[in-house]
Structure formats: C-alpha cells, structure tokens
Amino acid sequence: MIKVDIISGFLGAGKTTFIKKLIKEIYLDEQIVLIENEFGEIGIDGTFMHDSGIEITEINSGCICCSLVDDFETSLVEVIEKYHPDRIIIEPSGVGKLSDVIKAVNEVNSDELSLDNHMTVIDAKKCRLYTKNFGEFFNNQIKYASLIILSRTEDITEFQLNECIKIIKEHNNKANIITTTWNQLTQETLVAAFDHSDNLRNQLFNELDICPECGHNHNHEHHHNHKCKHEHHHADEIFTSWSKQTPKKYTKIQLETILKKLSENSNYGNILRAKGYVDSFENNWLYFDLVPGEYEIRIGKANFTGQICIIGEKLDEQKLNNLFDEVA
Ligand SMILES: Nc1nc2c(ncn2[C@@H]2O[C@H](COP(=O)(O)OP(=O)(O)OP(=O)(O)O)[C@@H](O)[C@H]2O)c(=O)[nH]1
C-alpha cells in the first residue's frame, strides 16, 4: 500500500515549511513523492524542495479539486507507476477545500492508495481574519483535518492563541492541535501527535458524509440542496493570481521597497500571498515570501529566469506590472 498524506492550509500558512520538517524528522526512512498544486501559474516551491532529493510533481494554474481534477488523477497514477513510493504527500493549493481533496484522492481508481494523515496548517496570527473573510475555504480546511498544526505561535499573545483554538474547536473539536512553536517541536512530540491522529482519523471518516456532487458534508437532504447552491464556490471565482517571468535585476533595497508597498497598500488589490525569486546585482538571487503584514527576503541560487507570483482578490495587474518594472 502507498500511503497518502494531504497537507492543507490557507495561503502562506506554512505548508511547505512543515512538509520539509516532516520529511526530515518523521518520514526519513520512507521514499516520498510530493505532489504540489499551486493556484498560481508558476510552481515556486518546487525549486526549494528539489535540493532535498524528493521527487516533485507539480500541477499548476488551478485547483486539483475542481478544474484540474483529471490532471490530478493522471498525476497520481503516473507517480504510482513510475516511482512506487512508500508515501505520496499532497500539498493542495492554499485555496483548496480539504473535503474536495479527500474526495479527489478517494476517487482515484487504484487499489494501491490508502489515505493516511490529512492535516491542516493554520497561521495562528491570521486565524480570526481568515475565518471571517474566507470562511468557506478556511473553515472547511479545519473541519476535515485529522491533525491541526499552528504556525507562528511564537509571535502571538496567550489571548490570541486561545481565541484561535476556540475558532478551531467550533469547527472541529476532535483533532489534536499542535500549538508548540516549530523550533521546539521534536521528533518524539510530532510522533505522539501523529499517533493520536491515527485513532481519530477512523472516527472522523465514519462521520464524514461527503456529498458526491460537491464534496461537502451534508447530513440532511434539505441542507444539501441549499448549501450546494449557495456556498460552493470554486477558488477561481474568488481568488486570482498574477505571475511574471523576468530577467530584471533588483537590489535588496529595491525588492524590499516593493514588498513593503505590497504588504501595506491596498492599491494593488487585496494581496494574500506573494512569492518568487529574482536576479540581483550581487552574485546571488533574491528569494521572497510575503503574507499580509509580513515579508521575508532570502539569498538563494540562480534559476533560469526570475519568477514572481501573486495571489489575492481583485488584483490590479497593470499596477502590479508597473510596480515590478518601474523600479527607481
Ligand atoms: N515566523 C514564522 N514564520 C513561518 C512559520 N511557518 C511558516 N513561516 C513563513 O511563512 C512563509 C510561508 O511559508 P510556506 O511554508 O511557504 O507556506 P505555504 O503554506 O506553503 O504557502 P503557499 O505557497 O501559499 O501554499 C515563509 O516565509 C515561511 O518562512 C512559523 O511558524 N513562524
């Protein structure tokens, strides 16, 4: 049997960072293939992970649970035939619904796959904001998780942490919630959290009554019709992405000025995530990550060209293009 893990979580929650930790500390003896589904057109994460020798299959420009469901099945079957790994880790796009991804995995026509952990990474700092603004996606990722991992707990007050846990428990009061900051999470503590989630998963599955049409859990016929009509949005009805490939060089200060504007200014649309890498005037490239209110620039290896990817709501493509092109 090939085990399948799904690691969901909203845009920028820390999925990729957590997967790296899992591979290094929990799955170190297993042969792993990672299937990444990016909502944007460019697979940015792939380049980071390749260095650790993990096979990566990327499915970009849409969502494996709606527009790319056939591509997803094809990729899974290809991965099984080509690599016969011990485990396949699926990283859905941040705007995917976990119930849809579980459903897509269950529908793949193969006796070799068995769904193992389906966990969700939640940015503890943004829990309240995201449940309010993007609840349809965010709450679904909470509800269907067998294990929940909080990120950025080092940056929040006890009050914020309790509030975040309260929100999570409103949607899922069974899953273990990992609240420890990631640099303190040891192999033993992770294993303990996973063991508990093993028991829970079976329980959760019995309770999952997933609608065959829309992938949602509905217990009553009446609710069923209502919810399918009014609540089931596809990610691309709400979120948009803008990508650009560019050979342009930036100084660190120039890139910082751009990211600062993106994180503080609503002129460009509601920016929820930006990431990519660009050439610099030094002998290295600048890799960047942005979520609302914070950004990070790291030094990295050259790539074949620079790539920028932005995801948000109502993005102003012209203004974004000018921002990256007309650098002072
Ligand atoms: N301070 C802090 N930063 C974190 C933590 N987890 C993730 N980050 C940062 O958050 C940014 C996004 O992390 P990723 O792991 O790329 O998030 P993701 O969920 O894969 O993002 P998507 O690409 O949108 O799917 C990066 O800059 C990480 O370094 C955390 O626990 N603490």
For the chain, domains (ranges, CATH) are 2-231 (3.40.50.300), 239-325 (3.30.1220.10)
Q: Is 182 in the pocket of ligand 1 (CB under 6 A)?
A: yes
For residues 261-273, average pLDDT: 93
Q: So what's the pLDDT on residue 227?
A: 43
Mutation probe of ligand 1 site: the residue of 17, 178, 294 with most atoms within 8 A of C-beta: 17
Which atom belonging to ligand 1 lies closest to the Cα atom of 45? Answer: 23
pLDDT exceeding 70 applies to what percent of the chain?
84
From the CA of 151, give the closest atom in ligand 1.
31
What is the Cα–Cα distance from 299 to 12, expressed in whole angstroms?
19
- Is the pLDDT at 188 greater than 70? The verdict is yes
Judge whether residue 111 has pLDDT over 70: yes
Q: Which of 6, 16, 52, 271 for a ligand 1 pocket mutation test, highest count of atoms within 8 Å of Cβ?
A: 16
Could you read off the pLDDT of 117-144 as tens digits, one per residue? 999 999 999 999 999 999 999 999 999 9
Determine the distance separating the centroid of ligand 1 and the alpha carbon of 121, expressed in angstroms: 10
The reported pLDDT for the residue numbered 207 is 60
How many CB atoms lie under 10 A from the CB of residue 162?
12
> Is 91's pLDDT higher than 80?
yes
Is-contact 100 65, C-beta < 8 A?
A: yes
Q: Which residue has the higher pLDDT, 51 or 186?
A: 186
For a substitution probing ligand 1, which of 34, 289, 295, 296 has the most ligand atoms within 8 Å of its CB? 289
Predicted confidence (pLDDT) at residue 230 exceeds the cutoff of 70: no
Predicted confidence band at 25 (pLDDT cuts at 50, 70, 90)? confident
Q: State whether the beta carbon of 19 lies less than 6 angstroms from ligand 1.
A: no
Tabulate helix, strand, coil % of the chain (nearest 5): 40, 25, 30
13 alpha carbon – ligand 1 mean position (Å): 5
Q: Average pLDDT in the 220-243 region?
A: 66
- Under DSSP, is residue 77 helix (H, G, I), strand (E, B) or coil? helix
Q: Is the dihedral of CA 174, 215, 40, 85 positive or negative?
A: positive
Q: Residue 223 has what pLDDT?
A: 44
CB atoms within 10 A of CB 202: 9
pLDDT value, residue 215: 43
Beta bridge partners of 274: 290, 310
Mean per-residue pLDDT for 4-17? Answer: 96
pLDDT band, very low/low/confident/very high, at 11 (cuts 50, 70, 90): very high
Q: What is the mean pLDDT of the chain?
A: 86
Residue 62 has pLDDT above 80, yes or no: no
Lowest mean pLDDT among 108-117, 222-231, 232-241: 222-231
| 179 Cβ inside 6 Å of ligand 1 | no
